[in-house]
Each structure stands twice: as C-alpha cells, then as structure tokens.
Amino acid sequence: MSTHPVSATHASDLKSKIEAKQSRVAIIGLGYVGLPLALLYAEQKFPVTGFDIDERKISTLAQGGSYIYRIPATEIQKARSGGFSATSDYSQIAKMDAIIICVPTPLNEYHEPDLSYITKTAEAIAPHLRAGQLVVLESTTYPGTTEEVLVPILENGNKKGLKAARSGSNNSEAFFVAFSPEREDPGNQTVARHDIPKVVGGLDPQASELAGALYGSIFKRVVPVSSPAAAEMTKLLENIYRCVNIALVNELKLLSLRMGLDIWEVIEAASTKPFGFHPFYPGPGLGGHCIPVDPFYLSWKAKEYDFRTRFIELAGEVNVAMPYHVLASVVAALNQRKKALNGSRVLILGVAYKKDIDDLRESPALTIIELLQKEGAQVSYNDPYFPMIGKGRKYDLQMKCAPLDKLGQYDCVLIVTDHSDYDYLKIVRESQLVIDTRNATKGIHDPKIVRC
C-alpha cells in the first residue's frame, strides 16, 4: 500500500497526463487572453475545450470563424480539426483535468475592483469540481484574490466537500489551485506568444509544480514564485511600472508644450543613452484592460493595510486627465481659427486603445468622443478595425465608421490612434485642421498640424 496521501497520487497522475499531453484543458473566457491561450494548447495537441457565456462566440468558433482580428479563421479551423471545441455548458467541467480562468476584471463606476466575473465563474464551476483537478486563475487582480475570493467559493460550492490542497494539509480528496498572470500584448508582432515567460504561484508546492508543468508544455520558460499573492503582485508591478512612466512622460509633454519644446524629440534623444533609460511615450490617455485598471486594484487593496499608494494614485490622476487635455487642445485650435467647438464637425481617427488592433477596452478615444459630444461637437470616427461602435460597459455610442474620402468637410481631424493603415501625408493635405496626439505626422511640416 502506498504511504503517500491520495492528493499526492492525484498530483502525480495529473502531472503524468500533462507530460503526455493527454490532460483535458478547459479555458474559461474566450476573449483576447483566453482564445490565444486555447490555441496554444491546441497547437501542442492537447484536448482543449473553451467555455464562454457569450453564445455568439461559441457559434462563431463552431463555424470555424474568428472574432478577433489578429487571429485568422484558419487558426480556428486548424484547432478544431485537432479537437478544439467551445461550449457554454459548465457541466462539462467535470470532464476536465486543468481549468484556466481568463475572465475580465474591470473597475466599477467608483474605480473599485469588480470581481463579479471571477465570482460568477467560480460559482459555475464549483458544483462540477472533482478531486485531482487543477484550477488556475489568470485574470489580473489584487494580491489575495485567489486565496480570499476564488478558493472559498470553490470549496463551499462543490457538492463533494472537496478542499483546495494546502501546504501541510493531508487531505486525501483535494483539488489544486494556482495563479498565473496573463501577459498578452495585443498587436505585438516581435515576441511570439510561447516566448513570453509564465509566472506561476501555487497554493501549495504540488499546485505550483502542476501549474508549472501545464504552462511549461506551451511556454519556453516558467517562473515560479512562492504564492498566488506573489504572482498577483507581479502582474500589478509590471503594469503599474508602465502606468507610472507613461504618466511621467504625459506630464513632461504638458510642460514641454508650454515651453515650446517637442517632447518626442527629447525622448528620441534620451533613448540614445545605452543604459539607465527606457523610453515611454505620451498619448491621449491610457487604454487596454490592464494599465488603466491595475493601479486602482492595488490602491484599493492597500487601504486594507492602512496604506495609501500616493505615487500610484498620482500617476493614475495624470493619465485619467489626458483626454481632457485633448479636449482643451481641440477647443484652442478651433478658437485660433475663429470657430467654436459647439457645432463643429470633428473626425476621430482611430478608436482602438492602441495601433493596429481591434480592441476597444478602456480606449481613451471613447472618452474623448463623449467629451466632444457633450460640448456640442458633431463627432464622426474612422477606424479600419471597427465598422461600428455600439454599446459597452461604459459607453453607448451607436456610431458607424465614416469614410475618408471627404476630409475637407470636417472642421478638425483628430488623430487618437495611429494605425499603420493611414496615409498621414494625404490626410494632412486634404484636411482643414489636424490635431495629432500620437506624433503620427512626424516629419510632415504643415501649419494645419497641431501636435498636442
């Protein structure tokens, strides 16, 4: 008879299945993080099932189509031919060996963490858990979420009285839990997905080992840390680092404008230093799911420890204010031409949160559109990745993409996202006024251009 606890036997069995690429992998949340991850596992011939509550996504995938621009339909079809499937039936969780949760973690209207997607997902899978399964959370969140929020729901919601394996426990019927932050970078064409190191923190050493094996099968490098909270904090540090540095150059841009200096020229010159400097670039505001959101997650959690993250909060204030700076720049530029913003026709170029992607999450363009509309401007937009903008969590614009064939009809063309598809020289030539928030018109010298 084996002297090892049954949980160790479960761990050994699961690790063997992972190494043989026979473990059944569930990916919950088939968005910008979950779908690429599912395709990586499918590429390595793992049996993969995607889960999502959006029936439109399930239907699109079932027909071999894609709803993410950078993922061609051929990738979906190839994965489906290898056994990849998608469903909204959470009872199928019982058949899975490893469950990876990739659901959104937005902020609510008060800039507080909204963990409803995590809690609802945990409640959906808890009744179907079985001993020996591995559950990994990837959603960006504050340190402590895995242990304080996810694990209790999974333990209290399953019908078998299962507990998560913990260090020092000798529970014979346990499941394993870890956190591994997503590191997707939409639009990045220089770093392959599998080349991005994967940070992993398990609730106990067995969970860490299993999560390391699971991710090590598709990523070239796994970086283990001591706990789920350490892994959660790692993700926040990465994005707060960017948030703070972007706030710094945004503030320096505002100062440079007053001083008559070109901040882009200054950054380019500073970038020639071969040590101690990494360039960050100003813009009309922060976008994407992580960088505008993560600092507020940590600031909120810090209050539990009677600690105020003043430096981080200040960076957030600077970045949140940038769309208002853009609004003021539009008003000033029109005023110089003896025009009022109220009644002026303004064309927004680019609404994605960064260039060459089809992602609207937290895009500053949406805020800028609403600010312009509130001031009475007649706002249109053009973006090659969005034929229309409908309704989201924080906006309801109901706008269709305008063509670029009559730029002269607009009082102002406002470059918010510098997509590579745009012919900026032609845009400047045909427009009455161009306001550039991204330095997209670098090298073009024309009095019609206002860089802000």
Whether residue 437 contacts residue 348, with contact meaning beta carbons closer than 8 Å, is answered with no
Q: 298 φ, ψ to 5°?
A: -70, -40
Helix 310-320 vs helix 294-302: angle between axes, to the nearest 10 degrees? 140
Catalytic residue among 243, 290, 412, 452: 290
Whether residue 67 contacts residue 89, with contact meaning beta carbons closer than 8 Å, is answered with no
Give the helix ranges, DSSP H, for 29-150.
34-43, 55-62, 73-81, 116-125, 145
Residue holding tokens 């430096």? Answer: 311
The neighbour count for residue 381, using CB atoms within 10 Å, is: 25
Query: Is residue 434 classed as helix, strand or coil in its secondary structure?
Result: strand
Whether residue 28 contacts residue 52, with contact meaning beta carbons closer than 8 Å, is answered with yes
Residues recorded for the chain: 452
Q: What b/e readout covers 117-138, taking b as 16+ CB neighbours within 10 angstroms? A: bbeebbebbbebbbbbbbbbbb
| Dist CA 171 CA 4 (whole Å) | 11
| Dist CA 172 CA 442 (whole Å) | 64
Whether residue 294 contacts residue 396, with contact meaning beta carbons closer than 8 Å, is answered with no
| Dist CA 360 CA 377 (whole Å) | 22
| Dist CA 277 CA 126 (whole Å) | 47
User: CB-based contacts of 183: which residues, under 8 Å, 6+ apart?
Assistant: 196, 197, 198, 199, 235, 238
243 noted as active-site residue:
no
The neighbour count for residue 214, using CB atoms within 10 Å, is: 28
| Catalytic residue ranges | 290
